[in-house]
Amino acid sequence: MTRIHLSSPDITPGEEKRVVEAIRSGWVAPLGPEVDAFEQGMAERVGARHAVALNSGTAALHLVLVSWGVGPGDHVPTSTLTFAATANAITYTGATPVFVDSDPVTGNVDPALLDETITRLRAEGRNVPAIVPVDLLGRCADYPAIAAVAATHGVKVLSDAAESLGARSGDVLAGSSGDAAILSFNGNKIMTTSGGGMVLTDDETVADHVRHLSTQAREPAVHYEHREIGYNYRLSNLLAGLGNAQLERLDGMIARRREHRETYAELFADADGVEIFQREGDDADNCWLTAVLVDASTTGWTTGDLMGHLSSHDIESRPLWKPMHLQPVFATHPRAATGAAERLFGTGLSLPSGSALTPEELGRVTGAITEFLRAS
């Protein structure tokens, strides 16, 4: 029996053909026509003026912060309910991530708490040059409220849209909010380049500097000339070819994930104590992952019980992100915690949601869940 994963890559012969074409073109370095086309296509897709393709979303976060001059002594508030990459990238600069708790409904950062946190940090004499809100599981953060907070305090906004390509906040597409945004094309994302990421911004100076830093900060000289520390972060032309083919199929892949969410919503409709996380207002989401929230006092079972049952059928499920302020590595870091993210971590479970799921595989998942609910 083949294991079913949360979000496997969705690769077709079209992607294989594009990668082979890139290989045969001779452009096997971190530059070439596929990289140029990928940047242009993604900028047009999200409505940003400039795009820079990199080898990971983490690299994209890191280089925007470096380009903005964020460094040792600075404090950068960010969502506590996120993958470690967000906090790690802040740490790479020498700055201190400050973890801000979630809106209990969406799981995204609480803008009012973000406002209070920046006010407190400034009162303590801290320098707060930027904030990094995160779009959780394909739901955009509340960018109008975040923009108001940023304007009040004069800080830059770096949108971590790693999980939300194809979603929108009002009329604004994910990847174009804030002063800059980043996307991830990791293997489990809504589209993939196997590994990869991108910076999107309307600021030409920032885009040019990020591109410069990502190629070891080489100066335009015949010999090797360097005036600042650079990084080997550029995306290869081969992987950009994969990205271009994936981008052509993006809407179809999002539609498949939405179908899965509707299937889960119907499956759990009569299960008292279970709700689909982020279900309210999800028409603007990309449905990257569908998760359930479980009230064990009503159901009589926990997310751990369901996860164990699915695992016995070789089906992967996974709790929502463990909040960063609860991670041992960040135990001493400043935080503004209300308990909302911790409750979501304790009651939330993500279910297989990938667009590559076949009808037979989805049937295995729903069959296992039905069996569990009947026995509970």
DSSP of 313-365, one letter per residue? TTB--EESPPPGGGSGGGTTS-EE--SHHHHHHHHEEEE---TT--HHHHHHH
Tell me, what's the pLDDT at 29?
80
Structural domains of the chain in order of their starting residue, each with its CATH number: 13-247 (3.40.640.10), 250-375 (3.90.1150.10)
Residue 63: which pLDDT band, with cuts at 50, 70 and 90? Answer: very high
Q: In what order do the strands lie in the sheet with 274-276?
A: 274-276, 290-294, 348-351, 318-319
Interval 297-329: pLDDT, tens: 999 999 999 999 999 999 999 999 999 999 999
pLDDT reading at 359 higher than 80 = yes
Residue 90: which pLDDT band, with cuts at 50, 70 and 90? Answer: very high
- What is the C-alpha separation between 30 and 22, in angstroms, rounded? 12
- The answer to whether 152 and 165 are in contact (CB under 8 A) is no
pLDDT reading at 83 higher than 80 = yes
How many Cβ atoms from other residues are within 10 Å of residue 158's Cβ? 29
- pTM flag (> 0.95): yes
- The answer to whether 193 and 22 are in contact (CB under 8 A) is no
Q: Report, as an integer, the average pLDDT of 76-86.
A: 98
Interval 99-111: pLDDT, tens: 999 999 999 999 9
Q: Quick one: which of 200, 197, 145, 203 has its CA closest to 169? A: 145
Tell me, what's the pLDDT at 286?
97
How far is Cα of residue 1 from the mean position of the Cα atoms in its chain? 30
**φ, ψ for residue 230 (rounded to 5)?**
-110, -175
pLDDT reading at 30 higher than 90 = no
Q: Quick one: which of 319, 320, 321, 311 has its CA closest to 365? A: 311
Q: Report, as an integer, the average pLDDT of 149-172.
A: 96
- The answer to whether 160 and 182 are in contact (CB under 8 A) is yes
Residue 170: which pLDDT band, with cuts at 50, 70 and 90? Answer: confident
- What is the C-alpha separation between 146 and 153, in angstroms, rounded? 11
pLDDT reading at 272 higher than 90 = yes
- What is the C-alpha separation between 98 and 95, in angstroms, rounded? 10
Tell me, what's the pLDDT at 155?
98
**φ, ψ for residue 74 (rounded to 5)?**
-80, 155
Residue 165: which pLDDT band, with cuts at 50, 70 and 90? Answer: very high
Helix or strand holding residue 58 (H, E): helix 57-67
Tell me, what's the pLDDT at 335?
98
The number of helices, as runs of H, and strands, as runs of E, in the chain is 13, 14
pLDDT reading at 1 higher than 80 = no
Mean pLDDT of the chain: 97
Residue 289 is classified by DSSP as S
Burial letters 226-248, b for 16+ CB under 10 A, else e: eeeebbebbbbbbbbbbbbbbbe
Tell me, what's the pLDDT at 264?
98
Q: Measured on CA atoms in the order 292, 298, 300, 302, is the torsion positive or negative?
A: positive
